[in-house]
Structure 1
Amino acid sequence: MFEISTSTVDAGASATMREIMQQPQVWQELASIIEAGRNEIDAFLAPLLKLANLRIILTGAGTSAFIGEIAAPALSKSLGRRVEAVATTDLVSNPTQHFAERLPTLLVSFARSGNSPESTAATNLAEEVLGYNLVHHLVVTCDPAGLLASEHRDQPNSLVLLMPSKANDEGFAMTSSFTSMLLAGLLIFDGRNDHAIQALSSAASDVISTRSKEVELLVHRAGNRVIYLGSGPLTGLARESALKLLELTAGHTVTYFDSALGFRHGPKAVIDKDTLVIVFISSDPYTSRYDTDIVSELRTNLGEDHVMTISADPTGAGDGPGWTLEGLSGLNDAYLAVAYAVFAQLFGLNYSLRLGAHPDNPFPDGGVNRVVKGVIIHPLGTSQPSMSEDN
């Protein structure tokens, strides 16, 4: 099992390691929180979901935006309506384009702290462009004292859902916060899913407790380029996984992400003889054919040892190197992303330690910040900028 040793503390990795290891327990606590608040959640959502023309937008910045990219396709299918993922960074810079349709809108905001300037700016701009009466806010956040939670806690058109306190990560990279908010977004709309919670917790615990040496070996086998691929919701996870490695190694590792089909259309040029490609295999029998096609192609081009698969079904992993996470068969890809993410987090952490970086604070000079600073929020319709406070 991963243990927080003295050497880990000295390497500046104790918070990140703790926050990765605790996730199975945090998810169990999260499920209890959502179940306890189910009546309030349903009372808030029910009248909105009755509106045939309701527009649902999942938003956030950085890793929090990728939650929407993973959850939106799955929720569109389960709800039988369009669910979109649009980052706050896009909503803030182009509000009149993204809010062009005057429709009833549910803006679901994901944020670890809620203190990034774009978090509150996006919710304010939605109301400014569409009008207060057309907008409702579901805020999913980890920090009860954050600006986003504080601004929406007592608003009649808002519901704030707080994650377990341990999900409010202290480390630089989002780990517990990411998986908890993703899982919350799925459970809020899909309803109680005890099987998924137990299966995800068990699979993640197995990865954490029994795969440590395999992760270390894979890291030491990896070259200086790591590519993550996935289809559908797992494309969003591939994006998050690439960012996690980039963050934790302080930008010293070349990373890239794409979909299984999209990778051939130019981005494949990034690979060289030192590249490791990690492919998240879809649980959908049709979609997974495209995943296994690119796996076979890349193994022919690079060699088997350069292509790693992560799957929930041993038949989908192919004959080369790969992990099957047991007990996840039958879960859709958005739920699988919660468990698959634990692998990517552990890989990024070990790669960072291999390079001698400091995962809890990879940028001690402040060049990149845990909470974004220095963003100017420009008033809509004027040419004079106003400077937001650094957070």
Structure 2
Amino acid sequence: MNGEAAAETTDGVSSLATYQEVLQQPAVWRQAAASLAARSSELAAFLEPLLAQPDLRIVLTGAGTSAFVGEVLAPPLSRRLRRRVDAIATTDIVSNPREMFADDVPTLLVSFARSGDSPESVAATQLATSCLRAAHHLVITCNATGRLAREHERSASSLVVLMPEATNDRGFAMTSSFTSMLLTAWLALAPDQDPGLTDRLADAAEQVLARADDLSAYTARRYDRVVYLGSGALSGLARESALKLLELTAGKMISFYDTPLGFRHGPKSVLNERSLAVLYLSNDLYTRRYDQDIAMELRAAIGPENVLIVDGRSDDPDVAPEAWRIAGVAEVNDAPLVLPFVVIAQLLALQFSVALGRTPDNPFPDGEVNRVVQGVTIHPLQP
């Protein structure tokens, strides 16, 4: 998808901002990693005393796409840190705080927010502080002037980490904001990082971007639904991919997400003759065996031309020859592997949106759905 195609307009609104925000990701990832490295001493002073507490609970939170950052990160962080790490959306915290914080243990609430102005963003942090005897806050946001950043920038129990300014996406959908916050949290919280990880991920994304036109083979077909499948950390990616397509096509295409094993238990009935299935293969050698099983099943059920397999192990001979193989990330954990993988989903959603005559920068010009959620009333928590 070249720049001219991306800039096509309908109703006077272009897709250029969204397209540029997808393109800028390798560059802003490098900026985000460099900015975090420059604050390594401050970050360590904040996190190390917390992580030294054996009963510390980590809660990863956000709304919508920001919540999916937590869904990607929670399983691998729990394994790496050998402690409880939960992904709980701010929407669930706000509506059910006593249940979400029923276990009154020392808690680090990691908040992800593009704007930080969604009503639930600040309310979730306030509820954690009021429901728990010991709550600390790591705020990862793309907006220095958002309410969430301003509320926590001077708190002794909080640390605010800002993303590069360009990640505060102008387009409706979260793209570079999602990936930059995910990378930052992984680098901040997961120990023993490969110092070359960010460059490897950025190089992998550049491979994907260079092949963007290859996706036109899919957008040219008359699909009316797309199914995204991923295991473990990649299940959060599948959910984000489905949301991106739904958002950018303004609901004109039906999207669905599941895990490869869960898909057989009824959800497989969503498939029809106009379905595209996108399968993200895990880098974990055990997990990917289940992924490959569903790949074979899908190729037999709807035809290999209707199955897009995305693989970070480019030399695996057991993967279908038409799979989208990404070089240089074979040893990368599935959580950061999401970064180059999701670029494919972003491009696919953007291309479907343009093909359908939608306006990706503002898919809902009448305001049915807004870039920053509106209409939410935060009710006081009763004693």
TM-score grouping bracket, smaller chain normalisation: over 0.9
Counterpart code for 2:92: D
**Change over 3 Å in CA distance of 1:317–1:206 after alignment to 2:** farther
Distance 1:7 1:124 in 2: 41
Matching residue within 78, 81, 104 for 1:79: 81
Match of 1:39? 41
How far apart, CA to CA, are the structure 2 residues paired with 1:28 and 1:255? 31
Are the aligned partners of 1:61 and 1:119 in contact in 2 as well (CA < 8 Å)?
A: yes
1:1-391 matched pairs, under 5 angstroms: 2-3=2-3, 7-8=7-8, 12-131=14-133, 134-190=134-190, 192-209=193-210, 211-221=211-221, 223-314=223-314, 315=316, 318-319=319-320, 321-381=322-382
| Maintained 8 Å contact 1:24/1:201 | yes
Contact 2:234 2:338 in 1 (8 A): yes
Structure 2 distance, partners of 1:109, 1:201, is 24
Q: Would the alpha carbon gap of residues 290 and 146 (structure 1) be closer, same or farther in structure 2, given more than 3 Å must change?
A: same
Deviations 1:241-299 (A, max 9, x none): 00000000000001000001010111111110110000000000000001010111111
Give yes or no for contact 2:137–2:158 (8 Å, CA) kept in 1. yes
Identity among equivalent pairs (%): 51
* CA RMSD of superposed structures (Å): 1.5
Letter in 2 for 1:381: Q
Quote how far apart the aligned CAs of 1:7 are.
4.4
* CA distance in 1 between partners of 2:117 and 2:286 (Å): 41
**Mapped contact 2:6–2:19 kept (Cα < 8 A):** no
What is the number of residues matched between the two proteins? 379
User: How far apart, CA to CA, are the structure 2 residues paired with 1:138 and 1:272?
Assistant: 44
Once residues 4 and 46 of structure 1 are traced to their aligned partners in structure 2, the CA distance between those partners, rounded to angstroms, is: 49
Which residues of structure 2 form unaligned runs of 5+?
A: none
1-side partners of 2:206 and 2:159: how far apart?
A: 32
Name the CA distance, whole Å, in 1 between partners of 2:209 and 2:227: 22
With the length of structure 1 as denominator, give the TM-score of the two structures.
0.94
Which residue identity lines up with residue 93 of structure 1 in the other structure?
S
- Alpha-carbon contact 2:310-2:323 (below 8 Å) kept: yes
Return the letter of the residue paired with 2:68: F
CA shift for structure 1 position 308: 1.1
CA distance, structure 2, for counterparts of residue 225 and residue 128 of structure 1: 43
In structure 1, the gaps of 5 or more residues are 383-391
Change (3 A) 1:316 1:130: farther
Bigger mean CA offset, 186-195 vs 27-36: 186-195
**Contact 2:280 2:310 (8 Å CA) reproduced:** yes
What secondary structure sits across from 2:14 in the alignment? coil
- Whether the aligned pair in 2 keeps the contact of 1:352 and 1:358 (CA below 8 Å) is yes
Tell me how far 1:222 sits from its aligned partner.
5.3
Q: State the one-letter code of the partner of 2:77.
A: L
Could you tell me which amino acid in structure 1 is paired with residue 369 of structure 2? Answer: V
> Is the Cα contact below 8 Å between 1:20 and 1:342 reproduced in 2?
yes
Aligned residue for 2:273, secondary structure, equals coil
| 1:8, distance to aligned residue in structure 2 (A) | 3.2
